[in-house]
Amino acid sequence: MVNLDPDSLIGEGNNRYCYAHPTDFDKVIKIKKNRKKRDDPNLLEYIYLKKIFSNDFRHMIHIAPCFGWVDTSEGTGLMFQRIYNYDSSASKSLFEVIQNKLLPKSVLDQLIVDLRTFVFKEHILFYDANCSNVLVQEVSKNHYRLVIIDGIGARKNGFKYWFRRHFSHISMMKVHEEWDSFMQEYSSVFADVHEVACSLG
């Protein structure tokens, strides 16, 4: 069993806590908040990730790898790769990078194009498509890629989720819808930063 200390909590979403693994610094553990809730976000994500990583996982470089279930002091959790840059610093979210103007928009726009190509080619269901769920990883000096760390699969289980996992023409409709939502979010974050800059100027 992995003992999770409150100090190891590094993130919190609507449905899950995210802890740094206390002994394996390359891993994080996601714990469900409401254990009585019918739809377990960890289980829904695990089902989906197991499917998309079932073949050759080496090309799935835009999604944080999942290492399965682990028993912890806070209940059963789902363990993932923690995303670091080439220099061992923690990768920042796309939201942070935009907000703090850490990279030019032209660079980020190209990374978005690369991510879109991947998402559409692999029919990735990115239901919680926002800039906080995507990290900007510097894989080598001045070379970057985007990595989705959360919001994969579905919010709720049911026949729609089953059909989207098994029929590509149905999943693609949802992929388009979710990507449009993500691009609206992406543009909105840039607009907010520009508005703040103008007000300060």
Chain segment 16-30, per-residue pLDDT in tens:
999 999 999 999 999
φ, ψ dihedrals at 173, nearest 5°: -60, -40
Residues 17/6, Cβ–Cβ less than 8 Å:
no
Q: How far is CA 35 from CA 31, 75, 139, 141, 175, in A?
A: 9, 9, 37, 43, 29
Residues 129/181, Cβ–Cβ less than 8 Å:
yes
Tell me, what's the pLDDT at 147? 98
**Alpha-carbon span 53 to 89, nearest angstrom:** 26
- What angle do helix axes 105-122 and 168-200 make, rounded to 10 degrees? 170
Tell me, what's the pLDDT at 56? 60
Structure tokens at 106: 């032209």
Q: Are strands 16-20 and 9-12 parallel, antiparallel or unpaired?
A: antiparallel
Q: Is the dihedral of CA 75, 70, 171, 133 positive or negative?
A: positive
**Alpha-carbon span 127 to 125, nearest angstrom:** 6
| Nearest Cα to Cα of residue 62 among 133, 188, 145, 147 | 147
| Nearest Cα to Cα of residue 185 among 118, 114, 122, 128 | 128
Length of the chain, in residues: 201
Q: How far is CA 159 from CA 7, 42, 142, 180, in A?
A: 39, 18, 44, 23
Residues (pLDDT < 70) of the chain are 35-37, 55-58, 159, 162-163, 166-167, 194-201
